[in-house]
Each structure stands twice: as C-alpha cells, then as structure tokens.
Structure 1
Amino acid sequence: MFAFGNGPLSDPSLSLSRFLALSCLPIKFQQNPNFETSQKGLKSMWNYALKGFLICLFLKVYDYSDYIHPKVIWVVYSFHIYFGLEIILAVVGGSARALLGIELESQFDEPYLSTSLQEFWGRRWNLMVTRILRPTIYDPVLNASTAIVGRKWASLPAIFGTFMVSGLMHELIFFYMGRVRPDGGITWFFLLHGVSLTIEVAIKKVIKRKWCLPRIISGPLTIGFVLATSFWLFFPEFLRYNPMERALEEYAALGGFVKDVYKALTFKSLNNVVQTYDGEK
C-alpha cells in the first residue's frame, strides 16, 4: 500500500488514526469530497433499503433450495454476497463520516450495469482492489512494457500481469480462510478474465469505436460471461472453503468473547460495590 511512493499510505500528512484505518480496513479516503458526493450518498438510502429487503428475500429462498436448480441458487448467492458487501461497506462509510468527519470512496458502482469487461473490472467492481493494483502492478508493468512494445500496446501485458497477481492473491486469501490446499481454480478464473479483457482492449484499439454493440446486447453478454465463468471456476473453489459456516462460527466465537468480557466486567464491578459497602459498614 506504499506502492513506491504512489499508494494510499505514502501521504506524509496522514494522521496516525487515518494511517491505521487505511492499513487495516478496505477503505480509501476521498481526496476532494464535495456536496454532490454527499448528496449522492444520501440519495442512495432507498437503494440500500431495497438491497436489504432482497437479502431477506434471498434468505427465505434458501429454505426451498431442495426444489430449485443449483445454478439458480448460485445466482441468488452471488447477488446475496454482493448486496451484503455493499451494505456493510455503506455502514463503514457512514460510521467514518459520523465519527471522523471523512468521506470514503465507494467500493462498487452497480456492476450489474456493466457493458464490457473493462467497465466491470475497471470502474464498477471492487474498486478498492483496482486502486491498489494500479500503482503496485499495472503502472510498473506498463512502464516496463512501453520500452518493449510501445505505448499503444503496453497496456495489454499490464492488464494480464495485474490479473495474474490478483489470482495469486485470491488463492492466498482463500487458503488463509479455509486452510485448504488450493488447486488453481481461482487463478485460472482470473487468468481467463485477464486474457479476455486483454483481447477486448486490443479489439477496441483496432476498431477505435468505429463499431460497437448496443448496451441492450453488450450488457447481458458481459454479466452472462462473468456469471458463467464464476459458476465454472470461482464459486466451486469459494464454496469448497465453507465460507458461510466458518463465518458463522467466527461470529459466534466473537459474540461469546464479548459476552464473557461483559460478564467479567459486570462481576468485577459488583464485587467492587460489595467491598465498598462492606468497608463503609
């Protein structure tokens, strides 16, 4: 996150609290927050309320999973994960605004509206990771490739290298989550998307927007490709780690820890009161 002096932690004016927040949380501060950005956040409340309602609806759908095709359940699950992430990150952003008086950059921008892989990965999906990978992987590979293939085509190896690193990062993250030996499915998912996005960008450079598909066609094709490859390579690996069960176990352990601490503090306070009363008596 220092990224050779270009990352979010490289700003020497960061306070200790902001430095720690950037280091430990998946957030990025807005450089020039304005009134329009704040209004956009306020206007999105109905958006989040609708997504919260859909999550509740999805939880009810899971009760009938025995009667629904597994692929349909996976589609529901993918939207469930996405909506859940958006709501959690919105709560984090609201808390940061209320407690620290800072605006956080958004993590997602309605990725289901994407009309190309370039738009999906570069401007709509998991933007925090995009902002981290650009100065750490994309820009160095771009600069190195420029001297070899020229500026026009240097972005192609930079794109592929970024996706390759992202795949390895996800393999490491999933191994940390589940302690299950990876078999490369996640890496293949990102390599496939890296190759596909590289081809897409190369075609765009050749045709130079002389011809393009209408949004009504390119949108479903893009999301369909993302979902199909996710079902093929990503979700089987993701579900192999039993993430929901592990998450619930960790939440239960955290709840038990908080409960034990509360009991200990309450018991200690009660003892202090009794001792004080006995002393006065």
Structure 2
Amino acid sequence: MRLKLFIALIIGTLFSTQMCNSQEEILYKKVDTTHLFLEVHYPPNMDSSKNYPAMVFFFGGGWVGGKRSQFLNQAKYFARRGMVCFLADYRTSKINGTTPFESLKDAKSAVRFIRKNAKIFHIDSTRIIASGGSAGGHLAAATAFIEGYNDSADDTSINSIPNALVLFNPVVDNGPGGYGYERIGDAYKDFSPLHNIKKGAPPTIIFQGTKDHLIPVVTAEYFKMVMEKVESRCDLKLYEGEGHGFFNYANQKAYKSTVAEADQFLVSLGYLMKEPIINID
C-alpha cells in the first residue's frame, strides 16, 4: 500500500513542465529494511502526450558491490536522445549479504516495475531496453533469458523480459569455466544466460574488449553464434586491446564509441529517430 501511495503522490508532478529536464529517485522495491531505488532521467522538453522508449541500466561489480552511477553518463545521453532512462539499485553481497540469485530477483523486479508503471512514466512498454556491464550485463541478459528467480512478492503476470539488450562485457556464461561458477554451482543450468538462449530472444548488441581478463572473446562469440542459431539478432563489437570495463566514462574514446554504436543499434530497431548523433559527453 505504501508503494502504491508513493506512486500516486508523484503522478501529479512527475511529468510537469518543470520536471521534464530533471531526474527522480523512485522506490521500486522494499525487502525487510532494504530500500531499492530507480534513478530516472527524462528526455528534455518531454511531451506527456507521447510514449517514449525506456532503458534500464544495471551496474557491474561481480554481484558483490558497485553503484548505480556507473552508467550515469550513458543514461544522460540516451535521455537527451529521447528515452526515459533508469539507473537501478539491486542487492549485493557486500552491502546486503546476498547472493547473485537475489541480485537477479531484483533486476527482474525492476523491469516489472517499469513495465507496470509505463503509463506513469510515459513509456512504451513494448520498447524497454535492458543494459549493463559485467555482472550488471549478466542481470540485463538474465531478465531476458532466465525463467526462474522471481521474487515471491512480484506480480509474475507482468512480463520481466526486455525488448532489446545493450550489453557491455557481460557475464553470460556461469557454467564450469565461466564467471561466478564457484558461487553458483550446478544452478548455472537455469541461471546462466548462455545456457538458456531460446527462440524469440530479444535483439542484442555486445561490446567486448579483446584483452578482457574476465570474459574471453570466445565466450561472446559463442553467445552470438547460439543467438543466431535461434534466429535472433546479436551484434558483437570487439575493441582491440581493451580490457574489462573499457567502456566506462573514464576511457573517453571507448565510452564515446560504444555509446555511438549503441545509438545506431537502437536506431536500426526503430527505437530512436534517424538523426545525427548529438554530442556525446
């Protein structure tokens, strides 16, 4: 009831002229004493009579730590391009004493919350993009491929599957030899995105450094091959000599390149207008 009341209270102000150039922090989930928020970035001069694509970002950090601000600059850019962008909190072992399984439950809850409240956010519920880096890339991909690990408090009649994926050196293989297997064990069979690709998988773009010491290029290449076997699009962009986390804002060249490539991918899906890319900063 508290969550519903909170949403109702923001309806009247969320999309006023004054709010269209700003951001909001919205509670999307409460677990015991833990409060999880979405930081929302809106397009400038937002027209409340229109529905916009949405993009939700999940930070990296091995499901151990990290901050939602990792993708702040990407969110600001795509908001300027005409998307409603969300930076999502989720539980991690360092802060909350949780496992990767709780992290996935939260990611799926976040997508459901966004889709459930599509009218409030003025977004098109059929154009929701999940994005993330490293373990956050796993969470984004897993919302699309993993059927289980749904929070018992979620309304599972609301689809948690995004309509497209933008993944930055994502953890997609949790099997033996893959990332995180020592914590996940045999549960990888229904937790690892690579092992659960099926027909109807959403179009995907992956950004991968060739010198990544955590995610081998061959893993990304195999993921692409399996996606194409089920007739789903998977663009793989390799960055020569780049290591893990190369896409972050501190690496300006790679940051701008990956954002530009993601922009064109979303243009090709019809999620963004075909217009010159605005300055990436």
Q: Same fold (TM over 0.5)?
A: no
TM-score, normalisation: structure 1: 0.26
**By percentage of residues, which structure has more helix?**
1
Larger Rg, first or second structure (1 or 2): 1
> Which of the pair has the greater relative contact order for Cα pairs under 8 Å at 6+ separation?
1
The structure with more strand, counted as a fraction of residues: 2
